[in-house]
Amino acid sequence: MAHVQVSVRLDPVQLKRARKALAAKSVSETLQKALNLVTEKAAHDQVIRRYSGVGTADAFAKD
């Protein structure tokens, strides 16, 4: 897959912390790993919401 080149302004302290937390070797790797985590979490949250019953009218109804 082709990658997109972007220009961004980032907090250098936050970037350093993220790079360390993600064990990334470069800024690009840090951003890619962070994006992967965010999209995986969003997919996980969607599954949880879908199957948890939270938010439905009878979510806490007794059977």
Alpha carbon distance 33, 25 (integer Å):
11
Q: How far is CA 43 from CA 1, 3, 39, in A?
A: 21, 22, 6
Q: Residue 53: what pLDDT?
A: 66
pTM for the model stands at: 0.74
Alpha carbon distance 46, 36 (integer Å):
15
Q: Residue 50: what pLDDT?
A: 81
pLDDT higher for 16 or 56?
16
Question: What are the structural domain ranges in the chain?
Answer: 22-52
Q: Residue 55: what pLDDT?
A: 61
pLDDT tens-place string over residues 12-48: 999 999 999 999 999 999 999 999 999 999 999 888 8
